[in-house]
Amino acid sequence: MKCKDVINFYTAEIREELARLFNSPEYRGVIFKNEVEELAGLMDTSEEQLMQELLNVVKQYAIFPISNFQVGAVVRGESGTFYFGANQEFLGETLTFTLHAEQAAIANAVTHDEKGITAIACTYVPCCLCRQFMYELDGAEKLKIILPDKVYSLLDIVPHPFGPSDLGVNMRLMQKMDNGLLKNEMNYSNDRIVLEALSAANKSYSPYSRSYSGVALLTKDERIFTGRYVENAAFNISMNPMMAALSNLNMSNLNFKDISRAIIVESRNNIVSQIKSAGNLLCVVNSDVDLEIIKVD
């Protein structure tokens, strides 16, 4: 459990509940609505205050060998579920692959098929890159940004936004996606990790290039973690699916060395490919695993 030392600050009853939530074998960087309500009641606090409280726990999952700067983020979904994210940096790879905590938490919510996001609590004020990333969200105009000293709307800190509509696109991140890649699903019915990567690609968000991509990682204990390609109107802050998958694995108390198999699925018609960058990133975190590549029609 990466947050063991931090939770020692709380009473025995709260410590026990946090340990149960964060150390459960089923924990995947998420606590569900009923668990949120129980924990808020136990701490005698509001859900928004709980989001801020949990930042001290969540930021312990940060991987920061370059910046020495820990950041955590907690997203509240429309369902009432909390999704966690922390910043990640990768030694030996370009800084382009740095994953911000806000991106990680949003990717976590996307992976779990959350319908929308109502608020995000952050350790620090989101950088301009993260503000741009958040503006891609469906309902971004109503998104609350919860900081230690104040609560903002996203538009408070993005006064002159640029987004999908500026490029003539009506789709928004967190809307339900079906990219039509499952018509030949039966061809892969005997390989569950391929099916998971295929499903991730089918749900990936790519309204600008229509280049669909998804990653699935199998761990030594037979758990599967997926990541979806997520584009952005600003293009070069689009999220590689490997980054999302690695983040989801990290938030689940696992190590990158626990990966035993990695697959990327892409549409054969993609004009933008994630394969090379996904393979490079996998090699940096676990050079013992080769990236398997599958292209579908």
Question: What are the φ and ψ backbone dihedral angles of 244, each rounded to 5 degrees?
Answer: -65, -45
Per DSSP bridges, beta strands 117-122 and 72-77 are antiparallel
Long-range contacts of 184-191 (CB under 8 A, 24+ apart): 184/296, 184/297, 188/294
Q: Look up residue 267 and give its DSSP letter.
A: E
- Per DSSP, the residues of 61-90 read G-B-TTT----EEEEEETTS-EEEEE-B--
Two tokens at 78?
A: 């429309």
pLDDT of 10 reads: 82
What domains lie within the chain, and their CATH numbers?
A: 25-167 (3.40.140.10), 182-296 (3.40.140.10)
pLDDT of 9 reads: 73
Residues 145 and 151 sit within 8 Å (Cβ to Cβ): yes
Task: Give the integer Cα–Cα distance in Å for 107 and 98.
Answer: 14
Question: Does the pTM exceed 0.85?
Answer: yes
Local confidence pLDDT in tens for the 297 residues of the chain: 565 567 677 888 988 899 899 988 899 999 999 999 999 999 999 999 999 999 999 999 999 999 999 999 999 999 999 999 999 999 998 998 999 999 999 999 999 999 999 999 999 999 999 999 999 999 999 999 999 889 999 999 999 999 999 999 999 999 999 999 988 666 767 899 999 999 999 999 999 999 999 999 999 999 999 999 999 999 999 999 999 999 999 999 999 999 999 999 999 999 999 999 999 999 999 999 999 999 998
pLDDT of 5 reads: 63
Closest by alpha carbon to 292, among 189, 218, 200?
218
Angle at 285 between CA 208 and CA 223, to 5 degrees: 80
Task: Give the integer Cα–Cα distance in Å for 240 and 244.
Answer: 7
Active site residues: 102
Residues 71 and 86 sit within 8 Å (Cβ to Cβ): yes
Task: Give the integer Cα–Cα distance in Å for 272 and 252.
Answer: 30
pLDDT of 11 reads: 85
